[in-house]
Structure 1
Amino acid sequence: MKTTRLWLQFLVCLAMGLVMAQAKSDSDLLPKYRALVIGINQYANHGAEGWSDLHTARQDAEAVADLLEKRYGFEVTRLLDEQATLSAIMMQMDKLVDYSPDDAVLIYYAGHGHYDQNLGEGFWIPSDAHQKIGGQYARQDWIWNAALNKMIGASQARHVLVIADSCYGGSLFRGDAAAKSSGEVGWYYSAMNKPSRYLIASGDLEPVYDDGARHSVFAQMLLNYLQYQDKGYFAASEIGLAVRDKVSEMTGQMVRMGPLPVPTDAGGEFVFVSQKSDFPALAGEWRKELPDQPKTVPAAGRDRMGQLRDIALLDQRGASNTVRALIERVSGGVPDPLAETVLSYVRTGHKQQKWAETQALIEKLRDDGETTNSTNAHGVQPRVLAMLEPIVAGGGEDREGQALLYEIALWSALKAQDRVKIVEREVLQDALRELQLSDSNLSDPRARLVLGRLFPAGSLLSSKILASREGDKIMIRLIDTQTSEVLAILSESIKPDDEVTAACKRLADAIVDRLIQLKPLKAAVTSVDQDVLTAPIGRFQQAHKDMTFTVLKQDGTEAGEARLTDLGEEESRFQAIWKTSGAAAQPLWISEKVIP
């Protein structure tokens, strides 16, 4: 009897174990559902150069987040109103690259959107964004569709679904894809296992309504579908179909849906499964009859130059995680000068370093201008070249990315010259933004005054990238910071097969040579000891040992030549070779010799 009882207990335990194992196996069919939900009613900057507040975006986002969390078991991150800053949204989007093929991520955005017809580019507007600064669109405050697509395309998550309830939301992709759903569980199981990158937008390239009683019309239809879908499982494309006709009938808006234009979409579907649904058990039965399907996300099909453009764009937008992941993919290839230049530029610490260097430079120039330094009594300023944002003819994300590659290669070549102090344009923009100025409005007297004070005797580098069938042409204008006078115009052509870093080095050499011709270092001699001169020129002015200077008398006639022999920080000694006797007894100047 005892043996029989033990045997029965064993069978019960075995059955329970099989049931639990089956339940665990069925639950493993589903990805880990995550959501980033963004809703912005309150914008920090108002007025003519800011954004108006919205009425329903935050409530829409809160309701969607609650429903996803409670009914569908999503792990939800919320960014609402003042939380939804540029840096906060980019930081959360940048986490996409850390997800695996076991994850399904939904991104919901409700807030202002903008579309730039000249660039052919759409934007999401964070809560801390300006619309304009100094009369110019503040695109640096906005989140570019190009950056969103690149971060989504770099992710290894099995599914990424974007639901955008904003003006011009349809600009994230080009072209619809017909929804293809089926009531068969097997279809959902197969669709769930193929990677997807999908968008549902409340409108096309058009403004959308924000005048619902509590929710926008689009959000209310979305909430209704999520709340009252009886089957318990459905595809994202089915949401789009259900919402599209009702929203169009009530508002005239054209709801757009379809796959995003990224290589990591493999034709799958984001499948919603409510927590009470029997889908896992039903799909488990189907799995027995179907071969296992790999979850691996397709590799992003960008060539090496395309990958470098993506790295440059995302680095500028602050997507450091995605940049690191893309660097790992590019680093495995055959080394080339441009890749090494770009990768060196975006390494961790670079931005902090250049910001610290520029702050120190600005403070030093200001201090020298306000006080008389005993070792720099005549206030000899270094040659400073501040880079402006390149103007890209034609626009578009690839053109913007290519311009950034040119900018990085040119900056690196100028920096390597060590004859001119370089201020990168991001730092210049930050300095001007604090004063509510734009670096593109040089006709503004206030902008000229500020630039002249920040960088006395400095120059601005304005570049324009022109495209043709033969390749690109970089046009450079050198502009005086105090007068806005164009000092020089230079150019360099780059054909498709040309090595970019070599072309940018040639251009950098020409720029520095011209700056030296235009603004040679010049200082009053502070002491003379026979053939040894002392003058307030040193490392701070980018001087170096063995530089040669012309020694000038008070009347401007030449008295001899001097070679820098003992380099100091702001004061150096020079060995003079006199042309005339008795020259050392009168006031003298030294002026940098310019080689034609």
Structure 2
Amino acid sequence: MKTLFLLTSAFIISVGLEAQLVSDQTNGIALDFTKEAPDGRVELPEIDWTFPTSAYTNSQENKIEFKAMISSKSPLKSVSLTLGKSRTGEPLGTKTIKIPKNSIQFEFEQSMTLWDGENVIGLIAENVDGGKVIEFRNVLVGIDAISKAVDINRKDYALLIGTDKYDHWSDLVNPVYDVETIGKELEDTYNFETEVLTNPEQDELLIKIKEYATKKYRPQDQLLIFIAGHGQFDETFGEGYLVTRGSLANDAAKTTYVAHSILRNIINNIPCDHILLVMDVCFSGTFDPVIASTRGAYENIDDSELLVRKLSKKTRRYLTSGGKEYVSDGIPGQHSPFAEKFITILKSRGGEDRIITLSEMYPEMQRLKTLPRMGEFGNNEKDSDFVFVVK
């Protein structure tokens, strides 16, 4: 017999002369104006979900461990949890979570066994000044739920490779700084599991990419590979190359470089359904023999349907800092122009829906003086995309 997580009392948020509730699709706030802070402002607690990070997810398992970090500038008064069958319907009840006295930060963890079908979990945090925040997570449970919502266990991975020190080429100033900054933004804001590889030799680079070919990926997992450094194009071979730390300056056979054709095949064979390769290197547009670009259109559907649609197509897409040309490394300590634009877009957090797609990103990247290129390779499916989802 299935054991259900039971909540002990009715959940009521008073909305009247003393308080005002403002809510949207994923969260809400309540302010108690009878408890005004000394400076006239009410500071709100913040809830940062660790798991699940998406507002709408599915799970084929009923038992789920919910995790979040709750922070407040003034001490927390209470933390509680609700469980309901729908957002607009009557909650089944509420459970008060015990927190240490005078806490301004609390790490919330609660294991729950959910019903088959739709479950709405509400996490409520209130501080002593009367500021109250409610964050919701919708979880669809059942063996057939996979086609209707985002997998609760899906992961996004990022491998970021930057080279600015060379044995036989001139050093660069920004690639390592660029990939470290992008990696931190992906990890902190978008919950990517990131790894940064700096100044690798040719074999180190290929071995590291091969490691990602041995990982076990779920159907909705994504992999971003970002490479920054020197690049070269050989007119005789009609081939573009990545230049690694030990690549020779005058290598007629190009055996110390990494050919784009080899990189295409290796990445295409990684058993992850959704892969985006971003290259901020000279001649990076020659990665694909046919340089193509597309623009995405706005889709008037809800967030969960958008994500399911984007994560249902096999993705093999690339975004490069230029075509068959040299690109700027930028001013020391200020990022390359391409990386700076990429970071700025990530920091925008996707607007109201908190989702950025590659199709939305590319028009902004086109504002750069050197025109970036976007296209597809390998086993890419029509209408595929890559998404960045704010946690």
Band of TM-score, shorter chain: 0.5 to 0.7
% identical equivalent positions: 25
Q: Secondary structure at the match of 1:139?
A: coil
Q: Secondary structure at the match of 1:193?
A: coil
Structure 2: distance between partners of 1:62 and 1:210: 15
Aligned position for 2:159:
36
Amino acid at match of 2:376: P
Aligned position for 1:221:
341
Structure 1: distance between partners of 2:264 and 2:203: 17
Alpha-carbon contact 2:293-2:373 (below 8 Å) kept: no
Equivalent pairs, count:
253
- Work out which of the residue numbers 114, 120, 138 in structure 2 matches 1:19: 120
- Work out which of the residue numbers 371, 375, 382 in structure 2 matches 1:254: 371
> How do residues 139-150 of structure 1 correspond to structure 2 at under 5 angstroms?
139-150=254-265
Alignment partner of 1:181 is 2:297: yes
Structure 2: distance between partners of 1:221 and 1:122: 24
Alignment partner of 1:123 is 2:246: no
Change (3 A) 1:264 1:256: closer
Aligned position for 2:191:
73
Amino acid at match of 1:157: C
> How do residues 463-482 of structure 1 correspond to structure 2 at under 5 angstroms?
none
Q: Which structure has the larger Rg?
A: 1
Aligned position for 1:165:
280
Alpha-carbon contact 1:113-1:125 (below 8 Å) kept: yes
What is the TM-score with the length of structure 1 in the denominator?
A: 0.40
Amino acid at match of 1:259: E
Structure 2: distance between partners of 1:8 and 1:89: 52
Aligned position for 1:63:
181
Alpha-carbon contact 1:162-1:198 (below 8 Å) kept: yes
Amino acid at match of 1:235: T
Post-superposition CA distance 1:121-165 (Å, at most 9, x none): 111111122222xxx435111111111111122122121101110
Aligned position for 2:355:
233
Alignment partner of 1:87 is 2:207: no
Structure 2: distance between partners of 1:10 and 1:225: 44
Where structure 1 has 5 or more consecutive residues not aligned to the other structure, the ranges are: 1-6, 276-596
Structure 2: distance between partners of 1:180 and 1:13: 37
Amino acid at match of 1:168: F
Alpha-carbon contact 1:182-1:188 (below 8 Å) kept: no
1:98 Cα deviation from its structure 2 partner? 2.8
Post-superposition CA distance 1:214-266 (Å, at most 9, x none): 21111111110101232310211221211112x12xxxx12101112x12445
Post-superposition CA distance 1:390-422 (Å, at most 9, x none): xxxxxxxxxxxxxxxxxxxxxxxxxxxxxxxxx
Post-superposition CA distance 1:5-24 (Å, at most 9, x none): xx984997774743359437
> How do residues 168-567 of structure 1 correspond to structure 2 at under 5 angstroms?
168-173=283-288, 174-183=290-299, 184=301, 185=303, 186-213=305-332, 214-229=334-349, 230-231=351-352, 232-245=354-367, 247-248=368-369, 253-260=370-377, 262-275=378-391
What is the TM-score with the length of structure 2 in the denominator?
A: 0.60
Aligned position for 2:145:
none
Deviates more, 1:215-224 or 1:146-155: 146-155
Alpha-carbon contact 1:55-1:210 (below 8 Å) kept: yes
More helix by share: 1
1:29 Cα deviation from its structure 2 partner? 5.7
1:103 Cα deviation from its structure 2 partner? 2.2
1:200 Cα deviation from its structure 2 partner? 0.7
Change (3 A) 1:188 1:102: closer
Change (3 A) 1:195 1:235: same
Structure 1: distance between partners of 2:152 and 2:359: 20
Amino acid at match of 1:28: D
Change (3 A) 1:9 1:160: same
1:192 Cα deviation from its structure 2 partner? 2.1
Amino acid at match of 1:258: G
Amino acid at match of 2:169: W
Q: Secondary structure at the match of 1:65?
A: helix
The RMSD of aligned alpha carbons is 2.5
1:28 Cα deviation from its structure 2 partner? 1.5
Structure 2: distance between partners of 1:153 and 1:211: 31
Alpha-carbon contact 1:188-1:235 (below 8 Å) kept: no
Amino acid at match of 1:39: G
Alpha-carbon contact 1:131-1:137 (below 8 Å) kept: no
1:55 Cα deviation from its structure 2 partner? 1.2
Larger RCO (alpha carbons 8 Å, 6+ apart): 2
Aligned position for 2:229:
111
Aligned position for 2:26:
none
Structure 2: distance between partners of 1:176 and 1:8: 55
Q: Secondary structure at the match of 1:141?
A: coil
More strand by share: 2
